[in-house]
Amino acid sequence: MNYVDPKLQARRTQIVEVLEMICESLELSNAQFALAKQRYEGVGACLAGADDQVLRAVAVYLQGSTALRTTVRPIGVNEHDVDVVAFVPDPDVEISPAALKKSIGDCLRANGNYAPLLEEMPRCWRLSYANEFHIDITPSIPNPNCRFGGELVPDKTLKMWKASNPKGYKRLFEERAKLVPVIRLRKHVAVDSARASVEPYPDASGFKGILRRSVQIAKRHRDIMFVDEPDVAPLSVIITTLASRSYEWCVSNREYNNELELVFDVIHLMPNTIESRLVGGRVQWFIWNETTAGENFAEKWNRRPERAEAFYAWHERFCSDLAQLEAVSGLDRLGELLKGLFGSRPATAAIDALTERVSAARRSGILSVAPAVGLSVGAISASTSVRANTFYGSGR
C-alpha cells in the first residue's frame, strides 16, 4: 500500500464530507419532494385515464435528473423542473409528433386542475406551479429501429420523430453508479444501487454514491460559472454522460487512496470519450447516446462552436478549482473557497452542518485533531474490487 500523509488524508475526508453536505443542501426538501411526487402521480393518473383512444395504453415515467437522482436546485429561484415522458407503446396508425402532442394537451386542458397551469412548449407541454416547480411532459412512441428498446420523441419543429431512449439511459447510468471502487482508505459509505401505467417516483432517502455526487457538484459549478451566460452552459445530459463513462473506467481500472482522489479523476477524464472529426474543414463533435442509434448529445456544438469552447473552458476551470480545495486549511478558509465554487447558501449550510457535527462530537468526547486540517470526526475503513475494463475515445 502506498504511503498516504495522514494530514492530507484527513483533509480529503473532511472535503468529501463537506461536498456531500453541499449536495444535500442543493436537493429538494422532504416537503418539496413529497409535493412533486404527488403532482407527478396526478398527471400520470390523468393521462392514464384519458378517453382518447390514442392514449389508452399510455405509460408515464420520469426522465432526466429527477429519474437519475442528480437534481440540483436552480440558482436564484425556488422552482425546479420534473421531466416526464408520455409513451404510447402501440399506436393503431402512424401518428405524427404534432398529433400525439395535441392528444396529450387536449387531455390535460380538459382537466380543470391543469388547464390554468398548462403552457405549450416547442416539443412538450409544461405544467407550471408558480414558485414551486414545473412538469414538462414529452410525448414518445416506440423506435422500431432501435435494438435497445429505444423511443422516438418530437424534434423541435414537431415535423419529425428523433431517436431517444430515456429508460435505457437511466438503466445504463444506474449500472455504472452501482460499480464499487477500490478505495484503500475511506469512510464507510453506502453505494448505489400494454395497459396504462405510471412508474413509481424514486425514493428520497439514501446516500447517492460517488457518481451521483460528482454529477451534482459538476452541474452546480457549471451553474455558478455560467450564471450570466446560460445559453452556452454545458448541457446537463453532456455532463452526466461524460461523468458516468469516466466513472466506469476509473473504478474498473484504478485504485484510489480516498474518495476525493476518485472524484478528481472522474472529473479530469470526462472529455476522453468525446469524439471529434474534421468534416468539410470544420471540427464536428460527437457524444453519442450509447443506448440508441443516432442521438448525438453534442449536436448543438456543431451548429454553435462556442458551446464546445464553453465546455472545455468550464472543464479546465472546474479541475483547477477542485485542486484548490486541498490547498486550504481550516473550515473558515474552506468555506470561503466553497462559496465561490458552489454558491454562498449551500456552502454556508455545509460548513454550519459540519461545525455542528464537530460540536456534537466534542460533547460526546469522540473529537480528534489533525494538524493543518482542524477538528475532524471522519472514520476510515476498507473497500471492494471490480472487473477490469478498457477506456474508449481518443480525447480532445
**pLDDT, one tens digit for every residue, the chain (396 residues):** 456 677 777 788 888 888 998 998 888 888 888 888 999 999 999 999 999 988 988 999 999 999 999 999 888 766 788 999 999 998 766 889 999 999 999 999 999 999 999 999 999 999 999 878 899 999 999 999 999 999 999 998 888 999 999 999 999 999 999 999 998 754 443 333 345 666 565 554 344 699 999 999 999 999 999 999 999 999 999 999 999 999 999 999 999 988 999 999 999 999 999 999 998 889 999 999 999 999 999 999 999 999 999 999 999 999 999 999 988 877 888 899 999 999 999 999 888 888 887 777 667 765 544 333 333 333 333 333 333 344 444 444
Contact partners, residue 231, CB within 8 Å, separation at least 6:
none
Q: Which three cell numbers stand for residue 249?
A: 473506467
DSSP conformational letter for 269 = T
The Cα–Cα gap between 308 and 61 comes to 31
pLDDT for the residue numbered 200: 62
The Cα–Cα gap between 118 and 95 comes to 23
Cβ proximity of 41 and 198 under 8 Å: yes
Number of other CB atoms surrounding residue 97 within 10 Å: 21
The Cα–Cα gap between 308 and 301 comes to 5
| CA-CA-CA-CA torsion sign (380, 386, 391, 392) | negative
The Cα–Cα gap between 147 and 166 comes to 14
The Cα–Cα gap between 203 and 205 comes to 6
DSSP string, 272-334: GG-EEEEETTEEEEE-B-TTSSS-BTTHHHHH-HHHHHHHHHHHHHHHHHHHHHTT--SHHHH
Cα separations (Å) of 82 from 20, 49, 67, 184? Answer: 23, 21, 9, 38
pLDDT for the residue numbered 75: 86
What is the model's pTM?
0.85
Q: In this structure, what are the phi and psi dihedrals at residue 217, rounded to the nearest 5 degrees?
A: -70, -30
The Cα–Cα gap between 377 and 364 comes to 11
**Cα dihedral 258/259/263/269 (nearest 10):** 50
Q: Which three cell numbers stand for residue 355?
A: 461545525
DSSP conformational letter for 231 = G
Cα separations (Å) of 360 from 15, 54, 356, 364, 396? Answer: 19, 59, 6, 6, 48
The Cα–Cα gap between 359 and 274 comes to 46
DSSP conformational letter for 253 = H
The Cα–Cα gap between 333 and 233 comes to 28
pLDDT for the residue numbered 202: 55
pLDDT for the residue numbered 377: 37
pLDDT for the residue numbered 186: 47
pLDDT for the residue numbered 1: 47
Q: In this structure, what are the phi and psi dihedrals at residue 154, rounded to the nearest 5 degrees?
A: -65, 145
pLDDT for the residue numbered 331: 81
The Cα–Cα gap between 325 and 392 comes to 29
Any idea where the domains of the chain sit in the sequence?
A: 6-376
First and final CA of the chain: distance in angstroms? 33
